Amino acid sequence: MMHHINFENKTVLDLGCNYGFFSFELSRVAKCVVGVDSDSHAIQENQQRCESLKISNIEFRNDLISSNYINSLPKSEITIFLSVLHHIITASGVYDSNESANSGKEIAIEILRSISERTDVLIFEIGQSNESHHWAKLLPDMSKDQGKWIKEELLYPAGFSNVEVYNPLEGTGVKSSLLRNLYFSSYNDFLSGSSLFSRIFRRLTNYDDRDGRFLFIARKD
């Protein structure tokens, strides 16, 4: 679905950039990219890579991702925010947050609202409450229709009125059929566990909970 977005000569914000996969790829066509992550080691490696490759249109920043921090950033035309917000609002330890005084849903909306005020297009993904990870139990109950819940309970209240929803499990072919069966199976907890069998199974099938997550392209108009 990235072909629906034109990154050429655009300003891009990559929130939760980690080791900069998207940042480095997009720097080839974007005007400039700002990558933010709370992992200081990842940011340092990214900065060193920029220097060694003489890439001048990426800026990496080591900071906590919060609504206050986002409000301090310059506006960007496109924001990428993938597989991060669930760690922030559940305090899973992957990303630190200084906004734990509010409930998870309130924190999520507050952060997304700050993004909506500083970008034209948001490419967004969040972990879902039906996943088997320990933090999933700390997420708000997203009901059976995870995509609809995220759109109506998080993105709309944050100010995004135009939201495209992409469900990877609605694809065709053997892989999509396999993913559907795995993702909604009562064996999901076991397959996502740490046993030797589950690790071998995941390696052979390339199964990952993220394969079943909805992807959103959100705009304000």
Question: Residue 164's closest CA among 218, 126, 125, 119?
Answer: 218
Confidence (pLDDT) at 91: 79
Using alpha carbons, list the distances in angstroms from residue 81 to 139, 176, 185, 197: 17, 24, 28, 32
51-65 pLDDT, tens digit per residue, is 999 999 999 999 999
Confidence (pLDDT) at 90: 87
Confidence (pLDDT) at 212: 72
Local structure of residue 43 (DSSP, 8 states): H
- Give residues with Cβ within 8 angstroms of 166, minimum separation 6: 1, 214, 215, 216, 217
Identify how many contiguous H helices and E strands the chain contains and give both numbers. 9, 7
Confidence (pLDDT) at 177: 45
pTM, two decimals, is: 0.79
d(CA 172, CA 170): 7
Confidence (pLDDT) at 169: 60
User: What are the mean pLDDT values of the chain's consecutive 10-residue runs (221 residues total)?
Assistant: 76 96 94 96 97 96 95 96 92 51 81 97 93 85 90 97 82 46 40 46 51 87 78
- Give residues with Cβ within 8 angstroms of 213, minimum separation 6: 83, 125, 126, 127, 128, 146, 168
Confidence (pLDDT) at 143: 84
The tokens describing 54, both together, are 């003489």
